Structure 1
Amino acid sequence: MKPTTYLLFILLFPLIGSFIGYTIGKSNEKYRDIFNIVMTAIVFLVTTILYKYVVVQPIEISIPNVMGTGLHLKLDMFRYVFVCLTTMIWFLTTLYSTQYLINHKNRNRYYLFFMLTLASTIGIFISENFLNLFTFFEIMSFTSYALIINDEDDYSHNAGNTYIIMAVTGGLILLMGLFLLYNSTQTLDISELRVKVSILGNIKYLIVTLIIIGFGVKAGMVPLHIWLPKAYPAAPTPATVVLSAVLAKTGIFGIILTIEVIMSGDFIISIIILVIGFLNMFIGGILAMMQRNVKRILAYSSMSQIGYILVGIGLIGILKENRIIAIYGTLYHVINHGIFKALLFMGTGTIYLVLNELSINKIGGFGIDKHLLKILFFIGMLSIIGMPGFNGFTSKTMLHEAIIEAEHMYGGVFFKTCEFVFIISSSFTVAYLLKIFVAVFIDKSNHDIEKVVARISKRALIPMVILSLMSIYIGMSPSVILHVLDKTLKPFGNPNPLAVSLYTFDNIKSSMVIIIIGIAIYMGFIRRVLKKGEGTNWYYVNPTTNWISLEKHIYKPLGKSIIFISSFIFNIIDGAVVNSVTFIGNGIDSISKIEIEQGKSIVRRMRSGFIKLFSSKGNIDKIDIETEKSELINIKKKIEDIGYNMNSLTYSLFIFGIVLIVCLLFLMS
């Protein structure tokens, strides 16, 4: 088959297969599960086959008259990294789902939307036109919403409402940015935008800001992250795996395209993204340490880890000609985060399978005798904290070196502060992962949970074993991924590949210093301040329950204020339009009366003259005196119609705005 056929296949097969699997599942769930596993395995296999074609040259497909501007698909090595990660994680998660969802309801519906989400996610990564990307992006938002609310309880619905509100709002802001982008450049093809955006004025910063906000919602970027700590715990664990390991990368992908491909690494935007990235790292790390629910800890952990990637994106633009180390670190962490976060969430889900509970205060000591689960979770922990020999070490080391490079280039307090925040945030990662591991797998509790007989099948453990082996293999042989990343550089200006030496004494020492600081934070803060009780009668407190809530104390009041202000403004506009039309109408009416009277006088004189001139004919054609009057009335009516249309448009905008905001507030209440 042609490479283009393979590319269309990985997009269309999950789309069509989702409905086939749904139909099969109505009569036989076992066959549906087998079909879904085989389908995702085939998609992953075809993706691996595509490598030999993509490494030679990009694969492109253009289908006119689809979505208005045409359907433009492209797969190059940069996009291939995201597509390959997506199909691999989806295959392993599907295998895991067939065990995890055995006792869950709405399984058939879950798999339908799970596969639709796969198709739309692949569509995002291979779109070469921003309108195509936006369309797939919105489809993914709605299909993933169905995954979050799958359990149909109050908490999942509340989390789903927050998620869809943020997703739709972000989508509308993204669409506004795309409208402005198209209006300014007359194209939405990504390959054409770099040149056309470069000649725009300052409006490009408004456009980019809107687009980044739209993508930033899905990436969990501060302060747009409020859906993340609610949706991750609410969704079934397999859905949480793809939300964290894959779907967050769609936002990252869009931000990379916007800043690096379109804006050519603009320095101002890069600095802003760098600062936001550090805020993500730091705030996410602090909030993760405070939590008691394992899923919520890992949710804030995802927020923090996304910060590393945002920092890398910012450094790419800041380092300019020396940006190669930042490119490697950013894309490497995209891959690593997908692997170790999928592993940790699967381990968490396995605990939930047995206990139906994830609060540390209730599952303490569960894993003391669960040796395989303990080993797998421990590997995931060592990976995410950046222990030498595991995959997290490679990407975090490169990002750390990129920060040091920026410090050498620019000097000053700013980049010294950046390095300090990087170190302390990385230490937070060590602290909150130790909190989970020690509480669940080492500390004895008074719950006697360790005596619970685990009902864990090999089908659930196999994906975790594969991910664990990948973490170790990539960590020990980083050149495997670096060899692939060498071929992803074209969208970044095609800089020369860099020979990276990771396992140096300084890098290992830096990593170990971070780990030691993290252990100190765990011992000094988490165990001494957050942990209460004595012996086996211990529990953790969460001080953040009394902290300010962005959703409750800022976004909801802001939404209500928008309703009031927009109502006031639209009322003024509406009154001005009505008064203007009334004034114009009255003026036309007055003019028409004057001219009609003059017309009548002229007609009378003409009629008298015609009678004298043609009286011998006997029949005189009557002149319609009302003709001129009718024409003037028609003119008046047209002006009034314009006024009514303007008035209707004003009302339509007003009603649409009010209905939208009321619906959002209703969902948020």
Structure 2
Amino acid sequence: MEGKITLLVILLLPAAAAIVGYMIGRKNEKNRDTLNIIITGVELLLVTSLYKEAMAGPIKLFIPDIMGTGMYLKLDAFRYIFVWISTFIWFLTTMYSTQYLIRYKNRNRYYAFFMLTLASTVGIFLSENILNLFTFFEIMSFTSYALVIHDEDKYALDAGKIYIGMAIGGGMVLLMGLFLLYEYTGVFNISELGVQIRQIGNIKYLISTLIIIGFGVKASIVPLHVWVPKVYPAAPTPASAILSGVLLKTGLFGIFITTENLMQGDLFISMVILILGLMNMFLGGFLALFQRNIKRILAYSGMSQAGYILVGIGLAGVLKEHKAVAVYGTLYHIINHALFKVLLFMGTGIIYMILHELSINVIRGFGKHKNMLKAVFLIGILAIMGMPGFNGFISKTLLHEAILEAYYMYHSIWWKVAEIVFTISSAVTGAYMLKIFVTVFMEKSEKYKGQYRDHIRKRALFPMIILSIAIVYIGINPDASLGIVAKGAEAFGIKGHIKVDFYTLPNIKASLFTIMIGICIYIGFVRMYLRKHDGNESFYINPSLNWFSLEKNVYAPALIITFRSSSAIFHVIDRGVVNFVHYINDRVKSISGMQIKRRRYRKIDAEELDFGKKSANYTEELSKEFHSLAELMDKMYRNMNSLKYAIFIVAAILAVILVELIF
């Protein structure tokens, strides 16, 4: 019973803190900051206290008459990984925010939505009812939107538009998938869906596709990733850190339960996820090579790292009863990515706090003499590159082993292709991270020598040091986290632990070989092709700015065509309705006049005369009503714009499609 109460507390505590903190912050910001740090620390301690109980068996709590179907919360070992890493990252990021936001406006609003986002994120990972999960998922989209647009400048507002637009669009598609799911299965509980969906035939592929698209927007799956390079640079750095380190995982969590729980590791769906993951890995890394803003590099890097997790999810279905190594690698990379990516964003945030600039062409040489900042940033870089001794090496080794397992199982040349893509993508990761580190922390620049050291506060460095220690500890002692990963894998029918010897000579050689390829790409492509010289100055160019853009060349024209065509359709419909009302109005007037005229040719008594007057008055009032209605329609026609028409027509199309699919 105590565990169930704690489950409810960790869901409600951040939401309550958001309200209380906002009220306190209106009078004393220091007390509000202290409260938020304490609350996120308590949240982490409460989640940690549930470790033994969650490992022993799932903790369940059902509250009826909430969200229509009741609220069903569940915490097992699999979900515990997501909840713990989220609260851990949030605690450190909250501490970091108190230093980062000192010179920002609207701090009170930021912290309120920051805590609400934590509450909704925890709700996503705890939800056993998939409709509850959807509700928290949408709440998270709206609360995180407030973080994205925090600066309220043009760039932030434009980024906010694409973020909320993609989130709402993805949410609508996800909801349609859930409607179909319930129509055919009659259940919403995630643990029951796998059994029920086997009986509904091939419609399950449409349902799973809609759900994966809905979650895929947040997971930045190609081609739904267009919001990523705009949103991450626009948001304040602590918000960017949780967007990449935690909120990205909400979409991946949804895809994971869809492929494994809902579709029971279906081979077709798993192969699609695997291919999309390989595309994410390569395309995200390739685009990161060309960027000059550090946040944009990390944004595309997050998209690439999500590809590793998607590859693991896909391999789990492909390998069937041999999927243990794939599930281990996926869960391990979910943990590791959160640690090193948040560390890199925090290091980037310190640079921005001081210089208010993140273009490597401008800040080159800034960190050469900032030894502490250089050290923690280097740890993050070595981790994401997969260097032996750091946590990224552990999860990447597991995922690489899973690809080899698939090759031995199917003996297809395509698995060799997948391994090559995996290796090249990892090498490209090393190349674009070297681009950042060499330019910012190794090149000389006299204007930054010995300056700004007093701007780097311990309050901002402390969370980075904690993350660095965690990264190195996992890298040196991977078995320490392998136990919880193994317990989490039991949710997918994997019994027992697999023995993994990470630091074998072949694994170390494979990692170092990949890093050497990355160094060659950096020297031969980044420095030789992307780096230009103008007299004594050197700078990087970004040719990708002029390349084909999904947003500009596909999505924007498609939306414009949809809006204009729907506007034209509603123009015809609207004018038709207005003309029809005018016609009825004229007919009523004509009928009214004929009735009164006909009564003059015979003698009528007083009672009939009174009735005739009433009838004439009634028809006259009816005529006035229709005339008013016609004026109203005219006014509506003048005031309604094409955007509103488009919304109506899109909603109508979705409704028609839904009816067709159901019936």
Q: Is the 8 A contact 1:121 1:136 kept in 2?
A: yes
> What SS does the aligned partner of 2:366 have?
coil
Number of the residue aligned with 1:305: 305
> What SS does the aligned partner of 2:151 have?
coil
Amino acid in the other structure paired with 2:501? S
Number of the residue aligned with 1:273: 273
The alpha carbon displacement at 1:486 in A equals: 1.3
Q: How does 1:248-647 map to 2 (within 5 A)?
A: 248-445=248-445, 447-448=447-448, 451-533=451-533, 537-566=537-566
Q: Is the 8 A contact 2:95 2:463 kept in 1?
A: yes
> What SS does the aligned partner of 1:174 have?
helix
Which shows bigger deviation, 483-492 or 179-188? Answer: 483-492
Amino acid in the other structure paired with 2:540? Y
Does 2:56 correspond to 1:68?
no
Which shows bigger deviation, 440-449 or 94-103? Answer: 440-449
The alpha carbon displacement at 1:533 in A equals: 1.4
Distance 2:332 2:3 in 1: 26
Distance 1:448 1:491, change over 3 A: closer
The alpha carbon displacement at 1:301 in A equals: 0.4
Does 2:224 correspond to 1:224?
yes
Amino acid in the other structure paired with 2:293? N
Q: How many pairs were matched up?
A: 602
Number of the residue aligned with 2:17: 17
Q: Is the 8 A contact 1:444 1:536 kept in 2?
A: no
Which shows bigger deviation, 361-370 or 561-570? Answer: 561-570
Number of the residue aligned with 1:45: 45
Distance 1:93 1:389 in 2: 25
Instruction: Please report the RMSD computed on the Cα atoms of aligned residues, expressed in angstroms.
Output: 2.8
The alpha carbon displacement at 1:493 in A equals: 2.1
Distance 2:231 2:446 in 1: 31
Distance 1:527 1:198 in 2: 54
Amino acid in the other structure paired with 1:106? N
Amino acid in the other structure paired with 1:45? L
Which runs of 5 or more structure 2 residues have no equivalent in the other structure? 585-636, 652-663
Number of the residue aligned with 1:158: 158
Distance 2:649 2:372 in 1: 50
Q: Is the 8 A contact 2:245 2:342 kept in 1?
A: yes
The alpha carbon displacement at 1:572 in A equals: 9.5
Q: Is the 8 A contact 1:366 1:450 kept in 2?
A: no
- Decide which structure has the larger Cα Rg and report it: 1
Which runs of 5 or more structure 1 residues have no equivalent in the other structure? 580-584, 586-650, 664-669
Distance 2:67 2:448 in 1: 59
Distance 1:524 1:192, change over 3 A: same
Number of the residue aligned with 2:122: 122
Number of the residue aligned with 2:647: 659
Amino acid in the other structure paired with 2:150? N
Question: 1:260-294 CA deviation, whole Å, 9 max, x = no partner?
Answer: 11101110011111110011010100110100000
> What SS does the aligned partner of 2:152 have?
coil
Q: Is the 8 A contact 2:326 2:398 kept in 1?
A: yes
Amino acid in the other structure paired with 2:334? V
> What SS does the aligned partner of 1:532 have?
strand
Q: Is the 8 A contact 2:570 2:645 kept in 1?
A: no
The alpha carbon displacement at 1:444 in A equals: 1.7
> What SS does the aligned partner of 1:374 have?
helix
TM score, norm. by length of structure 1: 0.86
> What SS does the aligned partner of 2:388 have?
coil
Distance 2:154 2:32 in 1: 29
Question: 1:108-165 CA deviation, whole Å, 9 max, x = no partner?
Answer: 0000000000000000000011110010000000000000111111111111111000
Distance 1:571 1:116, change over 3 A: same
Distance 2:490 2:645 in 1: 43
Number of the residue aligned with 1:582: none
The alpha carbon displacement at 1:660 in A equals: 6.3
Number of the residue aligned with 1:183: 183
Question: 1:527-560 CA deviation, whole Å, 9 max, x = no partner?
Answer: 1111111786211101111011111111011112
Distance 1:190 1:123, change over 3 A: same
Distance 2:363 2:3 in 1: 50
TM score, norm. by length of structure 2: 0.87
Number of the residue aligned with 2:194: 194
Number of the residue aligned with 2:609: none
Distance 2:83 2:324 in 1: 22
Distance 1:126 1:423 in 2: 35
Identity of aligned residues (%): 58
Question: 1:72-115 CA deviation, whole Å, 9 max, x = no partner?
Answer: 11000000000000000000000000000000111000000000
Question: 1:382-439 CA deviation, whole Å, 9 max, x = no partner?
Answer: 1000000000000000000100111111122211110000000000000000000000
Distance 1:75 1:554 in 2: 41
The alpha carbon displacement at 1:446 in A equals: 6.6
The alpha carbon displacement at 1:21 in A equals: 0.6
Amino acid in the other structure paired with 2:349? G
Question: 1:337-364 CA deviation, whole Å, 9 max, x = no partner?
Answer: 0000000000000111111110000100
Distance 2:315 2:536 in 1: 47
Number of the residue aligned with 2:102: 102
The alpha carbon displacement at 1:659 in A equals: 3.1
Distance 1:193 1:451, change over 3 A: same
Q: Is the 8 A contact 1:11 1:122 kept in 2?
A: yes
Q: Is the 8 A contact 1:366 1:440 kept in 2?
A: yes
Q: Is the 8 A contact 2:220 2:228 kept in 1?
A: yes
Distance 1:374 1:656 in 2: 52
